[in-house]
Amino acid sequence: MPTREPIGTIASLNASLTIAVFDARSATDWVPTKPAATKAQFTGHPAEIMRGLGKGEEMTSVDVGASSGFAFELEGTSGRIDAYRLDDGTLVLAAPARAWWIDPAHHGDHADAVDALFADVVGPAGVESATEVGELELASGKLAAVYLWLKKVGAARDLAAAMPAGGVVAFGDGYGDGHGGLIVDLGVGTYRLLRHEAAAPWADDQALVAMYLVREP
């Protein structure tokens, strides 16, 4: 069964991978976590996200300068998210990444079933089965998806300005294996965020989780 190829991958330093998605034009307004003057609390966007998700919700809203966005963790086992672009332009963020699934240490003995699972989730059928969880405005048309603790989030603004139409750019901060940020040119517009979780038929305790960004007509 042919497998759709990812357009990029976001990675963290550990199994947990919380990301924030917002308009890349606002990336320089991202405030890294730093101690407050009293040293009793932390400030910055990572702290804001941690407080939001700490309330038990699957995702939380976040303001990055004039841009509003969302933060979420799809799953906490692989530390990687694969990004895909569907034929209609819909962006799919899926985790665990396919490389994790087909690793012999995980589900490599179910490779064909893994491909079938991805074909369903990373495609129109997955979108149709998903639940809407938010709405995001992209005034610049370019989405930044960044790891919560990425140290050079601001670089996304200049990278987005220089990228070609319809392009994708991965970037990092020199820490860990892989890139902690991804910029995708989706086009100016309003996007619905939809979430879908599909259990592996051979392992009910393991699921492929996807977040879709679907452009409004």
Only one residue has tokens 């702290």, namely 47
Give the three-class secondary structure for 34. strand
* pLDDT for the residue 139: 96
Q: Which of 95, 127, 130 is nearest to 17 (CA)?
A: 95
Per-domain residue ranges for the chain? 8-215
* pLDDT for the residue 39: 60
Q: What is the SS3 string spanning 45-111?
A: HHHHHHHHHCCCCCEEEEEECCEEEEEEECCCCCCEEEEEECCCCCEEEEECCHHHHCCCCCCHHHH
**Is this prediction's pTM over 0.75?**
yes
Does residue 117 surpass a pLDDT of 70?
yes
Dihedral angle at the C-alpha atoms of 64, 66, 67, 71, nearest 10 degrees?
A: 30
Q: Tell me the residue ranges of DSSP E strands in 96-215.
A: 131-138, 142-147, 168-171, 181-185, 189-200, 203-215
* pLDDT for the residue 41: 73
Does residue 36 surpass a pLDDT of 70?
no
What confidence tens digit (pLDDT) does each residue in 136-156 have? 999 999 999 999 999 999 999
Share of the chain above pLDDT 70, in %: 95
What confidence tens digit (pLDDT) does each residue in 43-52 have? 899 999 999 9
